[in-house]
C-alpha cells in the first residue's frame, strides 16, 4: 500500500481548478513544483550530555507573488511531503486573500513534548542556523505552527539576528509583542475562522444562535475559534485535543475550559465537570452537529469517516484536514466546506501586518488590525463565494480558481527566466 502523500492532493486540486479556469498547462505548470527544498540535519545536545540528530525541512513552494511565508512545525509525523504540501497551500492562501507573499513551510520531525524547554530552545536555534541561508525578511519569513509558539519565534529571530550581525525582527512573525510581535496576531487565525463561519452562515441564512458547533484541536487555532464562535452566540457542543474530546449536548462552558487549558501542560482528559462527557476524537468528528471546525492536524477527515460526518458545514481551521477522497464524498452529501486556504488565512494576514510594522518600525492599534483583518477576510470570502455561484463548483475549487487566476496573471507578466 502506498503511503498517503498530501502533496498529491495539491497537484490534483490545482490541475482540476486550472481545468475549470481554462488555463493551458504552461500557464501554471511551475506551481506543481516547489521552487526550492532544503533538508537539514539538526544536532542537539540533550540535557543528559548525549547528542541527538533530528531531521528538518524548509520548502519554498513559490515566490511568484512576493517573499515566501509559512510556519514551522515540530511534530513526530512531519516529513518532506507534508511540508511540501503545507508550503504550496501557503502560496494559494496568500493569493486568495491578496497579500503580497509566496508560500513556504518548515518542519522538524520531533515530538517536542518529550524534550525539556532547554532542548527545545537548542533545537529551534540550531534549525534556524541550518535554514538561515535561505530565510530573511525579504526572502522567506517563518511563523509559529503546530507545537511552536511566539517563544520559538523569539529564539528564531535572536539566532538569525546574531548570525547576521544586526537585529532583524522582520525575519519572523508571531513573535512576542515585546520584540515586535503584532497586537492581534495570537488570535488572528481563530478570528479569521470565526469570520469565515459567520459569513457562511449569513450566506446560507442560518441564524448563528441556533448553530451547534464542534471544534477539533484546542491549540492556538482551535481555542480562539471556539472562544470567538461561542461569543458570536453559537453553542459549542464538543471540543478536543490530542488527549480526548469533551461533549455536552446543550453547550460547553468555553471560558471555563480555556481557563483550565491555560495552565501549562493541562489536557482535556483531565477536565471534570458535571454533565460533560469524555469522548474520543473519532467519535467527536462524527457527532450530530451543524458546524464542524477541524483545527488540529491534516488528514483528519478521510475516506474512512467522511461518509459518517453529520455536520452540514465544515470550516477548515487546520491545513489540509480533508483528503481529496473525503472531499468528493462530502460534496456528494451536500456538505458545505469552507476550505483551509480561505478559512484559516487570518493568521497569515495579520502576520503580513506584523511584517509591515517591523519593516516600518511603526506599530498599529489592535482595533485597526482587527478591522483590516475583517475587511480582507470578508472581501476574499465574497470573491470565492461569487465564483462558487457563477461556476457551480465547490468553495474549495472556487478558492483555488481565484488564487490560480492571480498567480497565472503574475506569471504571464514576469515570464520564464532566462
Clarify whether 332 is annotated catalytic.
no
Among 81, 216, 383, 394, binds ligand NAD (CB under 6 A): 216
Does the protein bind ligand NAD through residue 104 (CB under 6 A)? Answer: no
H-helix segments, 174-219: 185-203
- Shortest spacing between CB 175 and ligand NAD, in angstroms: 13
Spot the catalytic one: 69, 93, 105, 227: 105
Does the protein bind ligand NAD through residue 323 (CB under 6 A)? Answer: no
Check residue 416 and report its DSSP letter. Answer: -
State the binding string over 359-398 for ligand NAD (x if CB under 6 A, else -). Answer: ----------------------------------------
The region of 17-25, 115-123, 316-324, 392-400 touching ligand NAD under the rule CB under 6 A is 316-324
Q: Characterise 392 by phi-psi region: left (phi > 0), alpha (psi -120 to 50), beta (else).
A: left
Cite the beta strand spans of 5-67 per DSSP E: 36-45, 51-62
The region of 16-24, 252-260, 290-298, 305-313 touching ligand NAD under the rule CB under 6 A is 290-298
SS3 per residue for 85-149: HHHHHHHHHHHHHCCCCEEEEEEEECCHHHCCHHHHHHHHHHHHHHHHHHCECCCEECCECCCCC
Q: Which helix (H) or strand (E) holds 212?
A: strand 212-216
The region of 44-52, 60-68, 138-146, 246-254 touching ligand NAD under the rule CB under 6 A is 138-146
State the binding string over 143-172 for ligand NAD (x if CB under 6 A, else -). Answer: -xxxx-------------------------
Residue from 52, 51, 60, 61 nearest 14 by CA: 61
- Shortest spacing between CB 240 and ligand NAD, in angstroms: 5
Specify the residue, 75 or 122, whose C-beta has the smaller distance to ligand NAD.
75
The region of 3-11, 228-236, 240-248, 387-395 touching ligand NAD under the rule CB under 6 A is 240-248
The length of the chain is 418
Q: What is the dihedral of CA 397, 402, 403, 408, to 10 degrees?
A: 110
Distance CA 373, CA 192 (A): 8
Among 95, 297, 384, 403, binds ligand NAD (CB under 6 A): 297
Does the protein bind ligand NAD through residue 9 (CB under 6 A)? Answer: no
Task: Name which of residues 167 to 196 contact ligand NAD (CB under 6 A).
Answer: 189
Residue from 225, 237, 317 nearest 283 by CA: 237
Does the protein bind ligand NAD through residue 6 (CB under 6 A)? Answer: no
Specify the residue, 128 or 173, whose C-beta has the smaller distance to ligand NAD.
173
- Shortest spacing between CB 338 and ligand NAD, in angstroms: 13
How many residues touch ligand NAD under the rule CB under 6 A: the total is: 24
Specify the residue, 90 or 408, whose C-beta has the smaller distance to ligand NAD.
90
Whether the CB-CB separation of 316 and 336 falls below 8 Å is answered with no
Specify the residue, 218 or 338, whose C-beta has the smaller distance to ligand NAD.
218
Among 59, 64, 285, 296, binds ligand NAD (CB under 6 A): 296
Q: What is the dihedral of CA 268, 106, 187, 160, to 10 degrees?
A: 120
Specify the residue, 198 or 411, whose C-beta has the smaller distance to ligand NAD.
198
Distance CA 384, CA 182 (A): 28
Distance CA 22, CA 16 (A): 10
Query: What grid cell was written down for 143?
Result: 511563523
- Shortest spacing between CB 26 and ligand NAD, in angstroms: 31
Query: What grid cell was written down for 162?
Result: 546574531
Q: Residue numbers of the site for ligand NAD (CB under 6 A)?
A: 144-147, 189, 216-222, 240-242, 281, 295-297, 317-319, 344, 347
Residues with active-site annotation = 105
Amino acid at each position: 500500500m502506498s503511503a498517503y502523500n498530501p502533496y498529491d492532493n495539491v497537484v490534483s486540486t490545482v490541475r482540476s481548478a486550472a481545468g475549470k479556469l481554462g488555463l493551458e498547462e504552461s500557464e501554471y505548470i511551475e506551481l506543481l513544483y516547489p521552487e526550492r527544498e532544503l533538508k537539514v540535519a539538526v544536532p542537539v545536545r540533550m540535557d543528559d550530555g548525549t547528542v541527538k540528530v533530528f531531521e528538518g525541512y524548509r520548502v519554498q513552494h513559490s515566490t511568484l507573488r512576493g517573499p515566501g511565508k509559512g510556519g514551522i512545525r515540530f511534530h513526530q509525523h512531519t516529513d518532506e511531503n507534508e511540508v511540501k504540501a503545507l508550503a504550496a497551500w501557503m502560496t494559494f492562501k496568500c493569493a486568495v486573500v491578496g497579500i503580497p507573499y509566496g508560500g513556504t513551510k518548515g518542519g522538524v520531525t520531533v515530538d517536542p513534548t518529550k524534550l525539556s524547554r532547554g532542548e527545545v530552545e537548542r533545537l529551534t536555534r540550531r534549525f534556524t542556523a541550518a535554514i538561515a541561508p535561505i530565510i530573511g525578511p525579504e526572502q522567506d519569513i517563518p511563523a509559529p505552527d503546530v507545537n511552536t509558539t511566539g517563544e520559538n519565534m523569539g529564539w528564531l529571530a535572536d539566532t538569525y539576528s546574531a548570525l547576521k550581525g544586526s537585529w532583524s525582527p522582520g525575519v519572523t512573525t508571531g513573535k512576542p509583542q515585546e520584540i515586535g510581535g503584532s497586537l492581534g496576531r495570537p488570535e488572528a487565525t481563530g478570528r479569521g475562522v470565526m469570520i469565515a463561519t459567520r459569513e457562511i452562515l449569513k450566506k446560507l441564512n442560518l441564524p448563528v444562535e441556533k448553530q451547534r458547533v464542534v471544534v477539533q484541536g484546542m491549540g492556538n487555532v482551535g481555542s480562539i475559534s471556539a472562544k470567538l464562535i461561542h461569543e458570536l452566540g453559537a453553542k459549542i457542543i464538543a471540543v478536543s485535543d490530542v488527549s480526548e474530546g469533551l461533549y455536552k449536548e446543550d453547550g460547553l462552558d468555553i471560558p471555563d475550559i480555556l481557563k483550565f487549558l491555560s495552565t501549562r501542560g493541562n489536557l482535556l482528559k483531565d477536565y471534570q465537570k458535571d454533565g460533560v462527557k469524555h469522548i474520543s476524537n473519532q467519535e467527536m468528528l462524527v457527532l450530530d452537529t451543524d458546524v464542524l471546525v477541524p483545527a488540529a492536524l491534516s488528514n483528519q477527515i478521510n475516506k474512512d469517516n467522511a461518509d459518517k460526518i453529520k455536520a452540514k458545514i465544515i470550516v477548515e481551521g487546520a491545513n489540509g484536514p480533508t483528503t481529496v477522497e473525503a472531499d468528493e464524498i462530502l460534496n456528494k452529501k451536500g456538505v458545505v466546506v469552507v476550505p483551509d486556504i480561505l478559512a484559516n488565512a487570518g493568521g497569515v494576514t495579520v502576520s503580513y501586518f506584523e511584517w509591515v510594522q517591523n519593516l516600518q518600525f511603526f506599530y498599529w492599534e489592535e482595533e485597526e488590525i482587527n478591522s483590516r483583518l475583517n475587511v480582507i477576510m470578508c472581501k476574499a470570502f465574497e470573491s470565492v463565494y461569487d465564483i462558487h455561484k457563477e461556476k457551480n463548483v465547490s468553495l474549495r475549487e472556487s478558492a483555488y480558481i481565484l488564487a490560480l487566476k492571480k498567480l497565472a496573471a503574475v506569471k504571464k507578466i514576469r515570464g520564464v527566466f532566462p
